[in-house]
C-alpha cells in the first residue's frame, strides 16, 4: 500500500484506540480485515485511497465506532468523483463513454425529430405521436448500451438486448394508431418506458439478472438515478434560463436555440446521471433511503385521509376517475417507500419501531387498494369494460398481491417468526412482473381494444 493509505489506516486505528471500546487483539483482527478489503477493492480496480474509503464504509455497517469514523471523514468521500491519472484505464474512460453515449442519445432524438417532421408519411399527426412513443425507448437503449459496456456483457447478451429494443421501436412506429390520440395510445406512451426500463435492468445486472441482490442493486440505482436526474435538470434549467435571458437582452430570440439545446441535453442527462450514480455508489450515503424516513409517516397520513374520503364518497360507481388515478399514484409511492427502506436496511438488525410503522402504512395501503378495486369493478359493471379500466384493474391487482404478501412477511419478521431475507427476496422477485405487465399493456392492449 502507498504511504497515504498507510497513514489513513493508522489514523483509523488511532481513532478506535482512543475510544477504548475494542481490545488490542480485536483491533488487530479488525485492521487485518480492513487491509484485506482494501487489497480486494484495489485488485478490482479502485484507487488505494478510494478502496480505503469504501472498506471503511462497509465496516461501518456492522461496527458503530467505524461508522462514526466514516461519518466524521465524509468530506473526503465527496472528493472521489474526480478522475486522476493513476486511475485504472476503464475508470478513466468511463466519463467519456457516458458523455459520448449521452451525446449519441441527444443526437438520435434530434435526428428522429427532424425525420418525423418531414413531409409525406413522416409529417402526419400519427407520425408525430409515434415520435413521442419511441423517444424514451431510444434513450433507454443508449443507457442499456452504457451498462452493457460497463458490465462487459457477452456478445450474445448485447445482441439480444439490441434485438428486443429494435422490436419495441419497430412495433411503436408501425402500429396503426389513428391520428387522434386515443386511449390505447396513451396507455402505450405511459407503459412502454416501464418495459424499456426492464431491459435496462437486464443490462445493469450484467448477467446476474436471476440474482435477487443484483435486482436490489437496480432498485437502489433507480432511486438514486431519479434524484440525480432531477438535480441535473434543476441546475441545467437555471443555466439555460440565464443563457436565454442574456440572449434576450442582446436582442436575439432564444426560443429556437434553447429548444434544440433541450432536445439534446434532456436525453444526454440520462447517461450523465447514470454515470454519477455509478461513480458515487458505496462512497457516500445514498439519499433516497433518508427521504423514506421523512415520507413514510406523511404517506401513512395521506393514505388514512384517502381511506376516509373513499369510505364516505357514497356509491363507488360515482367515484371520480381522476381520484382513482391519483390513488394509484400514491399506492405506487408507498410501494417505492417500503422498497427503498428495505434496500437500505441491515438484514441482520432486529425488528424496530420503524418496521412497525411500515407495517401500519402497508395495512392502510391495502385497505385503500381494496376500496379502489371495488370502485373500479363497480364502474366496469355500470359502464362496461375499456382499455383504461382493464389496465387500472390489472395494476391494482398486482399492487394488492405485492403489498399484501409484503405485509404478511413484515408481520412475521416483527413477530420474529421469519427472517428479513424473505422480505427482500419477495420484493426483488415480484418487481419483474410490473415490467412484463407494462409490456403487455403497451404492445397487446392496442390490438385487444381495436386501437381505440
Cα–Cα distance measured from residue 112 to residue 255, given in angstroms and rounded to the nearest whole number? 20
Domain boundaries, the chain: 3-81, 91-280, 288-418
Name, in order, each residue with C-beta under 8 angstroms of 74's C-beta and a sequence gap of 6 or more.
284, 285
* Nearest residue to 445 via CA among 360, 387, 377: 387
Q: Which of 87-101, 288-302, 338-352, 412-426 is modeled with the greatest confidence? A: 412-426
Q: Which residue has the higher pLDDT, 214 or 158?
A: 158
Residue burial 333-346, b: 16+ Cβ < 10 Å; e: rest: ebbbbbbbbbbebe
Cα–Cα distance measured from residue 419 to residue 405, given in angstroms and rounded to the nearest whole number? 14
Mean pLDDT, rounded, for 291-318: 74
Cα–Cα distance measured from residue 408 to residue 393, given in angstroms and rounded to the nearest whole number? 22
Residue-level pLDDT at 84: 47
Q: Which of 83-92, 166-175, 341-350, 426-435 is modeled with the greatest confidence? A: 426-435
Length of the chain: 452
Cα–Cα distance measured from residue 102 to residue 33, given in angstroms and rounded to the nearest whole number? 40
pLDDT band for position 406 (cuts 50, 70, 90): very high
Name, in order, each residue with C-beta under 8 angstroms of 313's C-beta and a sequence gap of 6 or more.
319
Q: Is the dihedral of CA 431, 435, 438, 444 positive or negative?
A: negative
pLDDT band for position 76 (cuts 50, 70, 90): very low
pTM of this structure:
0.74
pLDDT band for position 434 (cuts 50, 70, 90): very high
Residue-level pLDDT at 283: 46
Which helix (DSSP H) or strand (DSSP E) does residue 440 occupy?
Answer: helix 420-443
Residue-level pLDDT at 409: 92
Residue-level pLDDT at 287: 66
For 107-118, the pLDDT digits (tens) are 988 888 877 765
For 354-374, the pLDDT digits (tens) are 888 888 889 988 988 888 888
Burial of 186 (0-12, 13-18, 19+ CB in 10 A): middle
Residue burial 91-129, b: 16+ Cβ < 10 Å; e: rest: eeebeebbeebbbbbbebbeebeeebeeeeebeeebbeb
C-alpha cell at 187: 396507455
Cα–Cα distance measured from residue 225 to residue 228, given in angstroms and rounded to the nearest whole number? 5
Name, in order, each residue with C-beta under 8 angstroms of 308's C-beta and a sequence gap of 6 or more.
none
pLDDT band for position 127 (cuts 50, 70, 90): low
Q: For the chain, what is the mean pLDDT?
A: 78
Cα–Cα distance measured from residue 246 to residue 367, given in angstroms and rounded to the nearest whole number? 54
What one-character DSSP code corresponds to residue 37?
Answer: H
Residue-level pLDDT at 399: 92
Q: What percent of the chain has pLDDT over 70?
A: 79
Residue-level pLDDT at 319: 63
Q: Is the dihedral of CA 258, 265, 182, 368 positive or negative?
A: negative
CA distances for 259 relative to 265, 272, 304, 417, angstroms: 10, 20, 43, 58
pLDDT surpasses 50 at 83? no
Amino acid at each position: 500500500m502507498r504511504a497515504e493509505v498507510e497513514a489513513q489506516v493508522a489514523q483509523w486505528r488511532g481513532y478506535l484506540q482512543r475510544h477504548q471500546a475494542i481490545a488490542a487483539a480485536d483491533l488487530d483482527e479488525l485492521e487485518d480485515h480492513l487491509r484485506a478489503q482494501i487489497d480486494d477493492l484495489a485488485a478490482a480496480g479502485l484507487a488505494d485511497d478510494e478502496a480505503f474509503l469504501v472498506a471503511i464504509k462497509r465496516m461501518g455497517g456492522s461496527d458503530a465506532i467505524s461508522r462514526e469514523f466514516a461519518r466524521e471523514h465524509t468530506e473526503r468521500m465527496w472528493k472521489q468523483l474526480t478522475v486522476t491519472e493513476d486511475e485504472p484505464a476503464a475508470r478513466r474512460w468511463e466519463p467519456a463513454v457516458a458523455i459520448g453515449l449521452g451525446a449519441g442519445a441527444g443526437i438520435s432524438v434530434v435526428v428522429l425529430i427532424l425525420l418525423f417532421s418531414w413531409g409525406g408519411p413522416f409529417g402526419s399527426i400519427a407520425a408525430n405521436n409515434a415520435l413521442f412513443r419511441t423517444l424514451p425507448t431510444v434513450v433507454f437503449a443508449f443507457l442499456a448500451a452504457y451498462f452493457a459496456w460497463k458490465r462487459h456483457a457477452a456478445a450474445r447478451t448485447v445482441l439480444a438486448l439490441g434485438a428486443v429494443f429494435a422490436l419495441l421501436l419497430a412495433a411503436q412506429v408501425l402500429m396503426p394508431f389513428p391520428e387522434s390520440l386515443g386511449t390505447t395510445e396513451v396507455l402505450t406512451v405511459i407503459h412502454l418506458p416501464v418495459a424499456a426500463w426492464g431491459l435496462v435492468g437486464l443490462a445493469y445486472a450484467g448477467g446476474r439478472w436471476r440474482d435477487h441482490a443484483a435486482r436490489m442493486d437496480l432498485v437502489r440505482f433507480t432511486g438514486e438515478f431519479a434524484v440525480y436526474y432531477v438535480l441535473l435538470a434543476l441546475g441545467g434549467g437555471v443555466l439555460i434560463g440565464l443563457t436565454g435571458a442574456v440572449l434576450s437582452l442582446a436582442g436575439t430570440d432564444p426560443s429556437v436555440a434553447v429548444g434544440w439545446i433541450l432536445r439534446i441535453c434532456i436525453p444526454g442527462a440520462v447517461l450523465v446521471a447514470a454515470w454519477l450514480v455509478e461513480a458515487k455508489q458505496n462512497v457516500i450515503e445514498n439519499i433516497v433511503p433518508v427521504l423514506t424516513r421523512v415520507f413514510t409517516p406523511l404517506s401513512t397520513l395521506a393514505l388514512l385521509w384517502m381511506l376516509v374520503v373513499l369510505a364516505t364518497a357514497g356509491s363507488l360507481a360515482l367515484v371520480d376517475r381522476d381520484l382513482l388515478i391519483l390513488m394509484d399514484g400514491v399506492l405506487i409511492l408507498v410501494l417505492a417507500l417500503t422498497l427503498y427502506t428495505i434496500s437500505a436496511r441491515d438484514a441482520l438488525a432486529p425488528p424496530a419501531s420503524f418496521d412497525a410503522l411500515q407495517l401500519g402504512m402497508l395495512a392502510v395501503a391495502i385497505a385503500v387498494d381494496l376500496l379502489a378495486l371495488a370502485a373500479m369493478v363497480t364502474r366496469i359493471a355500470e359502464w362496461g369494460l375499456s382499455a383504461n379500466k382493464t389496465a387500472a384493474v390489472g395494476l391494482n391487482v398486482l399492487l394488492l398481491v405485492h403489498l399484501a404478501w409484503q405485509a404478511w412477511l413484515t408481520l412475521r419478521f416483527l413477530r420474529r417468526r421469519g427472517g428479513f431475507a424473505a422480505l427482500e427476496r419477495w420484493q426483488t422477485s415480484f418487481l419483474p412482473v410490473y415490467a412484463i405487465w407494462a409490456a403487455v399493456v403497451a404492445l397487446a392492449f392496442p390490438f385487444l381494444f381495436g386501437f381505440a
